[in-house]
């Protein structure tokens, strides 16, 4: 469950390729897992920058709230999640493969830009 403050100045974009910087392998794997293929393609190949409302509409985040309410809303959600007896197991079922892939990438040293910044 992702909660974010509803503020206009917060933007999200993945402009790395346009800046000439390849994505790091670990974060790229997470983006592949978390974003729809259409949204991933749009964000990585264009200069698209999303507002908080657009992130909510794209289902990158689950809820928006006022800045002053963010801490209390987050704590309520954390308590609700913690109260679920099978949360850890379900989370591992959903994201376990992702954690293994990111760990394997890190172990193998498969970062496309590491050699460029020696």
- Provide the CATH number for the domain around residue 94: 3.90.226.10
Alpha helices per DSSP H over the chain? 25-34, 37-45, 52-57, 70-82, 87-108
67 assigned to some structural domain: yes
59 assigned to some structural domain: yes
Model pTM score: 0.71
64 assigned to some structural domain: yes
Neighbours of 8 (CB within 10 A): 8
36 assigned to some structural domain: yes
Q: Domain residues for 73?
A: 7-110
Chain segment 65-104, per-residue pLDDT in tens:
999 999 999 999 999 999 999 988 998 888 888 888 888 8
115 assigned to some structural domain: no
Q: How many domains does the chain have?
A: 1
Burial string for 86-106 (b: 16+ CB within 10 Å, else e) reads eeeeeeeeeeeeeeebbeebe
């Amino acid at each position: 469950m992702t909660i974010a403050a509803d503020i206009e100045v917060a933007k999200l974009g993945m402009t790395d390729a346009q800046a000439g910087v390849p994505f790091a392998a670990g974060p790229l794997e997470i983006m592949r897992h978390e974003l729809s293929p259409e949204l991933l393609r749009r964000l990585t190949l264009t200069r698209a920058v999303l507002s908080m409302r657009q992130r909510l509409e794209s289902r990158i985040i689950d809820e928006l709230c006022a800045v002053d309410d963010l801490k209390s809303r987050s704590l309520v959600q954390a308590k609700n999640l913690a109260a679920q007896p099978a949360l850890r197991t379900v989370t591992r079922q959903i994201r376990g493969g992702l954690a293994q892939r990111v760990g394997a990438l890190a172990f193998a040293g498969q970062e496309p830009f590491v050699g460029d910044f020696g």
